[in-house]
Amino acid sequence: MAEGKGFKGCIVAVVWLVILAVLAITVRFFWTEPQNEKLQSDTGSNSSYSHEVKIQADLFSGYSVLRSDEIKKNLRYDGIRLTMVKDEADYDSRLEALEDGDVDMAVFTIDSLLVAGAKLGRFPVSIVMVIDETTGADAVLAFDQGVKTVQDLNVSDASFVLTPSSPSEFLARVVKSHFKLPKLGNNWIKEEDGSEAVFEVMKSADRSKKQAYVLWEPHVSQAKKIKGVKVLLDSSKIKGLIVDVLVARREYLRDHPEKVRSVIEAYSRAAHHYRNEPQGFAGLVRSDDPSLSEDGSKAIVSGIQWKNTLENYAHFGVVKGVSAGDLLTMEDMIGNVTEILLKTKALESDPLNGNYTSLYFDKILSEMQSENFHPESLIAGLGQGTTDLQGVRTNAQLGKLNESQWGALRAVGDLNVQSIGFRRGSASISLSSEHELRRLKKMLDNFPSFYLRIVGQTRSEGDPEANRRLAETRAKSVGEFLQKDGFSISRMRTEAAPSAAKSGSAQSVRFEVGQIPF
């Protein structure tokens, strides 16, 4: 009986403890904490920020403007706090963070965005601005003893040593896609963890091996100092492919378009500021990464082209014609990058089904242009115009070469073009091959600093002189077609050469690109 009363007493005690605990929690949450918060509010100050925007990026130097004090200062004027979220260039996780609403905006290369979106099965973001384009920061290098031109990689055991899921990998895919390398094996990529790791492999490699190494700065400059190392292709020789863009989560863009515009304008002002500083972007890059030497920061800056306001207008199709120079539109850039990813099997199918305009939003830049935005004016609509701004930087026009200069060109490689068909025994191009030549013209637009040698070939049977004349006529016919399609005549040369195969299975016209030795 006594034990029963003791048990009941324990139950009563436990009940009272629970009641007291609930009461304590209730008092804390409904009285104490509100009172403390009120006290802090009554004795504190109002924030100067009314909004926070989170942007996710890795530590690539091209994004240094986003991490700068200048952009934060510019956004402060609009009451916006900028929070940068750092990651290790994990593009899949970055896109998922955007979809989940963990961040509002982020940076991608066009190729990394396409691959990440294809894996996710959707694109929860839209491109709102072009940040930069690499112009030499990435390069494919090799030892001259083993690889003299890109064509020397056309063997089954050749390989590219590179960092996966990086601009280096995409540059290697550009080579595989654009150059004729049918014998290159399926295991053509050898992965390493970062440019420095690739550089270490390169330094200890067999120099006679058919192997290329894809590096980024400052390791590109360091590798070029090694005896026997040559650059097969660097990103300064291609245009509109390795491009960094700023994206916004679609819901955020829909609900807060004015905040996205504030970010774009603040970025444009900050970039304009550093562009006109005495130390320029080199000073910014070095302050962003104090471990860099002065020479290292200069090498990085020389390999990155930060896009200005007028160039963004051109890329987004806001301005056209002469005002846009020869810059590719965002629609064309996305299409070209998609084609490369498909040809090199990084994508199984086009994730956008050809609807490339669905991946970017041009309204904000269009409004900025119509309102005469100027990066030195803080009052919308009262800008001084854009006549004093850095203009659209166009490709250098290649001059006409003489015979000796054509002979001195350093061969880069043969472009990957399907066999050009002609009507039997003539130089008349078939209709199907006209389509292929238009594709070639688009490919050449990505290589504005290369000269083109068009080599006509025919079967070796029959009259050699007649065959030579036919080969020459076919090469000229192709050259005339490309010229009508907008390719500069000063950049090409037509000639005849014997066919490589008696059966005539060799391509009737070969396309070799070369560059002036440097």
Q: Set out the domains of the chain in order of their start, with CATH numbers.
A: 51-134+241-370 (3.40.190.10), 138-237 (3.40.190.10), 403-515 (3.30.1330.60)
> Cα dist. 329→81, 311, 326, 362 in Å?
32, 10, 9, 11
pLDDT of residue 503: 41
Contact 337, 446 (CB under 8 A): no
H/E run at residue 3? helix 2-27
Interior CA angle at 351 toward 346 and 356, to 5°?
115
pLDDT of residue 231: 96
Q: Amino acid identity of 384?
A: Q
Given a cut of 50, the residues of the chain with pLDDT beneath it are 379-384, 501-505
DSSP for 235-249, written as a single string = GGG--SSSEEEEEEE
Pairing of the two strands 451-456 and 492-496: parallel
Q: pLDDT exceeding 90 applies to what percent of the chain?
A: 74
pLDDT of residue 222: 96
Widest Cα–Cα separation across the chain:
125
pLDDT of residue 426: 80
pLDDT of residue 517: 79
pLDDT of residue 425: 73
Pairing of the two strands 189-191 and 492-496: unpaired
Q: State phi, psi for 493 to the nearest 5 degrees.
A: -140, 135
Q: Amino acid identity of 438?
A: R
- Across 217-277, the runs of DSSP E, i.e. the strands, are 229-234, 243-249
Sheet containing 138-143: order of strands: 189-191, 159-162, 211-216, 138-143, 229-234
Helices (H), 360-496: 363-370, 403-408, 431-445, 464-484
pLDDT of residue 149: 96
Contact 368, 136 (CB under 8 A): no
What pTM was estimated for this model as a whole?
Answer: 0.86
pLDDT of residue 25: 82
pLDDT of residue 423: 82
- Among 224, 269, 264, smallest CA distance to 246 is for 264
pLDDT of residue 500: 56
Q: State phi, psi for 414 to the nearest 5 degrees.
A: -95, 130
